[in-house]
């Protein structure tokens, strides 16, 4: 069992930055690939970024490429999402998720555990 707790969301002006954190419980964090997803009002949950268990590979949605960076610190059981050059369309609840595999990381129904989410609001 893994429990995930997101933090770092908030209100920011367009062009600003935020860093989201996701702290995981348990001693097996390094066994999980991690992903970030987001869900805007009236829209389906969508993939944002993912990182493999060893941090060997990262993956991004087209909307995140060049602006967002996913990273992890296995010693701290934490995954991060650095978001720069934020746009109003980035406004959403952001969720982190854990998967016991490095495959299929862009698919939300492939993940085994989810956090409760953190709200990110970008004002224009």
Give tens-digit pLDDT for 82-91.
999 999 999 9
Q: Report the distance separating Cα 31 and Cα 40, nearest Å.
A: 29
- Please report the pLDDT score of residue 108 as a whole number: 85
Q: How far is CA 83 from CA 13, 32, 64, 107, 116, in A?
A: 12, 22, 8, 21, 19
pLDDT at residue number 54: 85
Residue 124 pLDDT: 93
Give the per-residue pLDDT at 55: 80
**Per-residue pLDDT tens for 60-71?**
999 999 999 999
Whether residue 116 contacts residue 7, with contact meaning beta carbons closer than 8 Å, is answered with: no
Q: What does each of the 124 residues of the chain score in pLDDT, given as a tens digit?
A: 899 999 999 999 999 999 999 999 977 899 999 999 999 999 999 999 999 998 889 999 999 999 999 999 999 999 999 999 999 999 999 999 999 999 989 998 899 999 999 999 999 9
Structure confidence at residue 27 (pLDDT): 73
């Amino acid at each position: 069992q893994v429990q995930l707790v997101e933090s770092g969301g908030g209100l920011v002006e367009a062009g600003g930055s935020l860093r989201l954190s996701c702290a995981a419980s348990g001693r097996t964090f390094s066994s999980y690939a991690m992903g970030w997803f987001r869900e805007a009002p009236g829209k389906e949950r969508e993939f944002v970024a993912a990182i493999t268990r060893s941090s060997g590979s990262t993956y991004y949605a087209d909307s995140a490429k060049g602006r967002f960076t996913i990273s992890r610190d296995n010693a701290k059981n934490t995954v991060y999402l650095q978001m720069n050059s934020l746009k109003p369309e980035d406004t959403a609840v952001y969720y982190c998720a854990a998967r016991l595999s490095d495959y299929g990381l862009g698919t939300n129904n492939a993940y085994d555990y989810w956090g409760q989410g953190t709200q990110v609001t970008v004002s224009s």
